[in-house]
Structure 1
């Protein structure tokens, strides 16, 4: 069966089922026909036995039988397929209309075959209450019954074979017709490539059993299309981000090498190149981190952490920058959570750094911890201009900036929020952003055990 097509398998299965059902029906019909013939023969033999018994009921010897022979012969001529035998209680033959028939004279109805002829024999005492009574035996020729049953058996086998063959052919045709939507799906799938990921399978022309499969394939194509678009955008973004520092390095190096210069100038150029190289190294490291996160390869070494202490330490680290711009920072709430310390600090540092960059002088940054029976929530909110609602879903995309014309410092490549989301998801949580009424709030939500 492994090498057979699905159409062939279904055709053979239909044929096997039809042959089995036909065979069972044929056998049952054959048994019913045989039982019907036996019942008819039983009724006929019972009636004939009563008639012959009435003719010889008082016979006790062969001599008493002689005056009744003509009547017996007349009755037998009315039934040419019936043979009569009368024998004494000592099994001696008194009368036998079929001299060659030697069927056993046991009581009741039974079958007998002799010289290629089938008989149904019915034997009984002439006088049932007399143990020394003579015995009557009637033999009915049932050869025509047997021939009918044999023809019926041949017809059953022929019907089984033809029905199995017809069902196999019709089943194969039906299976091929039923699988036609799969062939169309295969044609569409074969035409899918990197340049045609927008193709979708129509779900209004397939049987109900295939609707879920079509929808699953369409959803898979949509995910592939989205992933490919994001990969293409990422490739374009990374090329754009790498082009500037590489161009700076190339230009500055060419200028320095264009003529002889003092040692201090060479040293200054090397320091400038070092800054660009560090920026490139940081960008490459961030992209590698994101690639590991997308493939579930972030090694999260969890340990119980007091989040209040971790946040206080970060707020102390950023406090000099906040004081320079007269930005007030505060923390409220307390919670205990198992997480990777270094990864969680990196995520929170990105959020606080982002808040400091976009909070105007004299503004405020608030960090809050809340916990209930189902989740732990950590919010980082800052005052400042609202982020347009249409840009909120893209804040966590790689290299995304709310204002592309604004380059918030050369050290920021637009990967911080993407890294933060990867770290949060690596811990089983999620992150979202809300911005309205001069307040932007990032909410980190983690499930609690």
Structure 2
């Protein structure tokens, strides 16, 4: 099992503190050693001149006893100082070690020099300084360094654990909030202003995700309710009509008429189910257009010729302006244009005009009629949405899926569709920036 983030941070803090303490201790220890060595050298250098002057003129071992009393007197005044004299051949003329400490635990620092500076190859004089007390001090410093390092690492680990837990508290709040999110609590939001700067972006993104989930859940709930509503009416009609027909014996013509009525309802239900399947494929990115070069003007003209008899009944003029070439799925784009043209005919005032404008990269279908309120425009392309606030149960063949299908097909082609309603005109504008070139 891997350690927690707080544990890892605590161990990291402790390791960093121990490393810094160790480096600082080593630097201090080396500086102390260098300082003591410098002081010892200064001390011995000061005494070196005295001993060289005292032993001036000594050229052999027989002459040393005459100076021995003076040498011992000086050495007794400095018990941590010793002296050794050696001849040119290395024979020892005189030696007295420092008497400040025992020889078993003593540590010495030596300063060799020629007895006569004028003859560096002659007899030699070596000063010996007892540095045992220095060594004891440095050992205590080293023990103190290790103790400090250990205590610092421990204290840092404890403080780091506290600091890590305190710093990770916002993450625990996020986790607790996420654990309580359900279908009944999608309105829960994090107070991002109370989070540290580093986590504020995460909190904002989580809030945005929750908002998207809430919106998607509401849409799904509404979609399910709309499906139930749209399917309930025709199914109830089919069931009622079938029960009435079967309630008593009927003539063949009555059975035929009932079957024709049922067939119409079943065809409408089939079309609705097919539309919902198409929208489901679009939602999962499975709507793949068969792109081929198209002359959109020819497709529009064919649709206008098809709808011309319906328009003539209401004295509505059908007009097409401009031309456009693109690569797209002929059947899908004809369905989009047919849906928009059908909507335009249903909501146009008698004696007005419907215009289809073709321009490079865009298509617009315009009609004159009752304006659409601005607050309703964003919802026009939602499934089962109708601009009239009251549903007409059991009447009409439009389930409110046409514009949703249009948007799915346009987006599958890399485009976008929007609606504008002002100055007595309602315009559905399709933009194909990705496929406008043939």
Q: What is the TM-score of this pair, normalised by structure 2?
A: 0.94
Q: List aligned pairs for 1:81-120, cutoff 5 A.
A: 81-98=80-97, 115-120=104-109
* 1:120 Cα deviation after fit: 0.8
Q: List aligned pairs for 1:271-290, cutoff 5 A.
A: 271-290=260-279
User: Where does residue 233 of structure 2 map in the other structure?
Assistant: 244
**Matched residue of 1:410: which SS?**
coil
User: Where does residue 206 of structure 2 map in the other structure?
Assistant: 217
User: Where does residue 406 of structure 2 map in the other structure?
Assistant: 420
* 1:380 Cα deviation after fit: 0.8
**The 10-residue stretch of structure 1 (321-330 or 208-217) with the greater mean CA deviation from structure 2:** 321-330
**Matched residue of 1:80: which SS?**
coil
User: Where does residue 294 of structure 1 map in the other structure?
Assistant: 283
**The 10-residue stretch of structure 1 (251-260 or 41-50) with the greater mean CA deviation from structure 2:** 41-50
* 1:292 Cα deviation after fit: 1.6
Aligned mates of 1:71, 1:306 — CA distance in 2: 125
* 1:208 Cα deviation after fit: 1.3
- Counting matched residue pairs gives 432
Distance 1:176-1:444 versus aligned 2 partners, 3 A rule = same
Distance 1:204-1:99 versus aligned 2 partners, 3 A rule = closer
Aligned mates of 1:74, 1:144 — CA distance in 2: 23
* 1:421 Cα deviation after fit: 0.9
* 1:432 Cα deviation after fit: 1.0
1:18-62 deviation line (CA, Å, top 9, x unaligned): 111111111111111111111111111111112211111221112
5+ residue gaps, structure 2 = none
* 1:123 Cα deviation after fit: 0.5
1:66-95 deviation line (CA, Å, top 9, x unaligned): 221121111111210111001111101111
2:371–2:421 Cα contact (<8 Å) kept: yes
User: Where does residue 314 of structure 1 map in the other structure?
Assistant: 303
Q: List aligned pairs for 1:365-404, cutoff 5 A.
A: 365-371=354-360, 376-404=361-389
For 1:204, which of 190, 193, 209 is the aligned residue? 193
User: Where does residue 424 of structure 2 map in the other structure?
Assistant: 438
2:79–2:98 Cα contact (<8 Å) kept: no
User: Where does residue 71 of structure 2 map in the other structure?
Assistant: 72
Aligned mates of 2:113, 2:21 — CA distance in 1: 41
* 1:318 Cα deviation after fit: 2.1
Distance 1:337-1:57 versus aligned 2 partners, 3 A rule = farther
2:107–2:135 Cα contact (<8 Å) kept: yes
Are residues 1:326 and 2:315 paired?
Answer: yes
**Matched residue of 1:151: which SS?**
helix
**Matched residue of 2:193: which SS?**
coil
RMSD over equivalenced CA pairs, Å: 1.9
2:369–2:424 Cα contact (<8 Å) kept: yes
Distance 1:309-1:51 versus aligned 2 partners, 3 A rule = farther
User: Where does residue 106 of structure 1 map in the other structure?
Assistant: none
Are residues 1:51 and 2:50 paired?
Answer: yes
**The 10-residue stretch of structure 1 (80-89 or 50-59) with the greater mean CA deviation from structure 2:** 50-59
1:173-223 deviation line (CA, Å, top 9, x unaligned): 111111112222222222211111111111122111111111111111110
Are residues 1:405 and 2:404 paired?
Answer: no
User: Where does residue 17 of structure 2 map in the other structure?
Assistant: 18
Aligned mates of 1:355, 1:406 — CA distance in 2: 20
Aligned mates of 1:327, 1:407 — CA distance in 2: 26
2:98–2:129 Cα contact (<8 Å) kept: no
**Matched residue of 1:392: which SS?**
helix
**Matched residue of 2:64: which SS?**
helix
Q: What is the TM-score of this pair, normalised by structure 1?
A: 0.92
**Matched residue of 1:138: which SS?**
strand
**Matched residue of 1:117: which SS?**
coil
